[in-house]
Homo-oligomer: A and B are copies of this chain.
Amino acid sequence: MTHGRAAAPPRFPVTAGRPGRGLRQNYHMPLDPEIAARLKRTPDGLVPAIVQQYDTGEVLMLAWMDDEALHRTLTTGRATYWSRSRREYWVKGATSGNIQLVKQVALDCDGDTILLKVDQVGAACHTGDRTCFDADVLQANGPS
């Protein structure tokens, strides 16, 4: 820091609180480099995350994560995504209360897809449906 000037605001949020009490020290640390090295991202830096109800196996939705969203998901236990339309982080259920408690996080064989097993509180879909796939079945019991 340059002497003789007022301190500039920090470029990234810092965590308030006394050390050892309420200070989530991992919150603003980057994603574990060993995990980051295994991710294969889109040109936008994102990885699709399939979200599944951990006990029933229902596929609830698909969302997108960047490294920071994955880091927050792993460290907070609440599913956190990157909203491509709003261009911001999005803690699922932060406004609706329909949160997702993280039970398991896995990467696929290529490192380009995440599978998130969660316990979904309430409806996963913003339409009020339990899953985002309930309303629009194109084909059932098709040829096999």
Contact = CB atoms under 8 A, between A and B. Distances in A.
Interface string A27-43: 00000000100100000
B108 A144 contact: no
Interface stretch (A8-16, A89-97, A128-136): A128-136
A62 B110 CA distance: 10
Contacts of A139: 74, 102, 104-105
B76 A62 contact: no
Given A103-B144, A115-B133, A108 B52 contact: no
Given A62-B108, A113-B62, A129-B109, A101 B144 contact: yes
A122 interface: no
A118 B106 CA distance: 21
Copies of this chain present in the complex amount to 2
A43 B101 CA distance: 32
A115 to B, nearest CB: 4
Given A50-B59, A77-B143, A142-B77, A132 B105 contact: no
Given A142-B104, A144-B77, A59 B52 contact: yes
Given A62-B50, A144-B119, A108 B137 contact: no
A56 to B, nearest CB: 7
Interface of A: 35, 38, 48, 50, 52, 56-59, 61-62, 74, 76-77, 101-113, 115, 119, 125-127, 129, 132-133, 135-144
